[in-house]
Amino acid sequence: MASPDVTLEEKLKELQRVAEAALACYDLPARASATMINLSENATYRIDAGGRKWALRVHRQGYHSQRAIGSELAWLQALRRDKAVTTPVPIKGKNGELIQIVDLEGLPSRHAVLFDWENGSEPSEAELLGPFEVLGAVTARMHRHSQAWTRPKDFQRLTWDFDGAFGTVQHWGSWRDGMGLDAEKTRLFQRALDLIERRLKAFGKGPHRYGLIHCDMRLANLLIEGEETKVIDFDDCGFSWYLYDCATALSFIEHRPDVPELIDAWVGGYREVAPLSAEDEHEIPTLVMFRRLLLVAWIGSHAETDLAKSMGVPYTRDTVPLCEDYLAKFG
């Protein structure tokens, strides 16, 4: 997030300086250039040099510790090594480390990670049922790996449970700071959150329901190259309910009338790979509502990003009928 004391333009210039300084940490061809391609939790750059491309991630200050970033990379590498899914390949720096620390005078230290560039394109959104079935199957493969994988002893990632999202922790800030909230919407959203909290407490965190997941399994984080499906952007990976990955697939489109059909397609793909009980499936709408309200918080706390600007007040407004419908069906 941009500091309130620093304009977005100044922040972008600072990040560009960090990205360019980070290049010196790697054995790259001369005259490598860094072009920002995304600004969200982190800043992501396309690195061009010697006819090749890489992706450089400059981490947001204070969001993940070096230990947490290393844990993400450990799972990402294990998924690829064990042939569960294809994931990006992190590149070691000149010092032999995957995570580089960039120190520039007058700026806070930042972590940076370089990845091989992954070719491919996002699945077409012209027709979503097929891509959602693929997404469900890919997610199930990752869940099976997560359940079987022995994590390193120092493994550390964020916890995306109710407390982490809406309680004392609030990784993405308070939903009460969402854009366009008024007293009436606040009361409605609180009623929905009270119900979500009760239902998730009853649902529980048994090992078949809760574990290490991607936490942002949107179609935007899949790359299709020929017959191969790749998964990118593990920055949010952490501990949550397995079916939260289904909810994240619906991020920003939860209000679409075809959401039930998209969930059915996702579940169908998932069940081709791993079992999923009807009882667990029944709780997907609760996790969709959980995600929707968490994104209200994210938009409010990331107002400088293009995505937040594109969603803004209408996203909060369109959350109202979703809350009303959820309360009517599950309250």
Q: Which residues pair with 47 in a beta bridge?
A: 34, 54
pLDDT over 60 (residue 149): yes
When the pLDDT of each residue in the chain is averaged and rounded to a whole number, the result is: 96
Alpha helices in 23-102 (DSSP H): 66-81
Per-residue pLDDT tens over the stretch 264-287:
999 999 999 999 999 999 999 999
Q: Where do we find the tokens 């996790």?
A: 287
Per-residue pLDDT tens over the stretch 231-250:
999 999 999 999 999 999 99
pLDDT recorded at residue 2: 44
User: Positive or negative CA dihedral for 158, 212, 308, 38?
Assistant: positive
pLDDT over 80 (residue 5): no
Average pLDDT over residues 133-155: 98
DSSP one-letter code for 204: -
- Measured CA to CA in angstroms, residue 147 lies from 136, 190, 201, 313 at distances of 16, 33, 21, 39
Question: HSE-up of 291 (CA within 13 Å, CB side)?
Answer: 25
| Distance from C-alpha of 168 to C-alpha of 165, rounded to nearest angstrom | 8
Contact assessment for residue 102 and residue 112, using Cβ atoms and an 8 Å cutoff = yes
Average pLDDT over residues 100-112: 96
| Distance from C-alpha of 266 to C-alpha of 136, rounded to nearest angstrom | 4
| Distance from C-alpha of 103 to C-alpha of 24, rounded to nearest angstrom | 12
Per-residue pLDDT tens over the stretch 15-69:
999 999 999 999 999 999 999 999 988 999 999 999 999 999 999 999 999 999 9
- The more confident residue out of 144 and 302 is 144
DSSP one-letter code for 86: B
Q: Which of 151, 56, 160 is nearest to 100 (CA)?
A: 56
**Cα dihedral: 142, 144, 149, 153 (round 10):** 70
**Cα dihedral: 228, 234, 239, 242 (round 10):** -30
**Domains contained in the chain, CATH given:** 8-116 (3.30.200.20), 129-330 (3.90.1200.10)
pLDDT over 50 (residue 87): yes
- The more confident residue out of 4 and 278 is 278
Q: What percent of the chain has pLDDT over 90?
A: 94
- 244: three-class secondary structure by DSSP: helix
Per-residue pLDDT tens over the stretch 305-323:
888 999 999 999 999 999 9
Q: Which of 118, 89, 106, 117 is nearest to 21 (CA)?
A: 106
Per-residue pLDDT tens over the stretch 170-221:
999 999 999 999 999 999 999 999 999 999 999 999 999 999 999 999 999 9
pLDDT range class, residue 8, cuts 50, 70, 90? confident
CA 30 to centroid of chain Cα atoms: 33
Token representation of residue 302? 């990331």
pLDDT recorded at residue 1: 44
Question: HSE-up of 158 (CA within 13 Å, CB side)?
Answer: 22
pLDDT over 70 (residue 293): yes
**Cα dihedral: 192, 193, 198, 199 (round 10):** 70
pLDDT range class, residue 124, cuts 50, 70, 90? confident
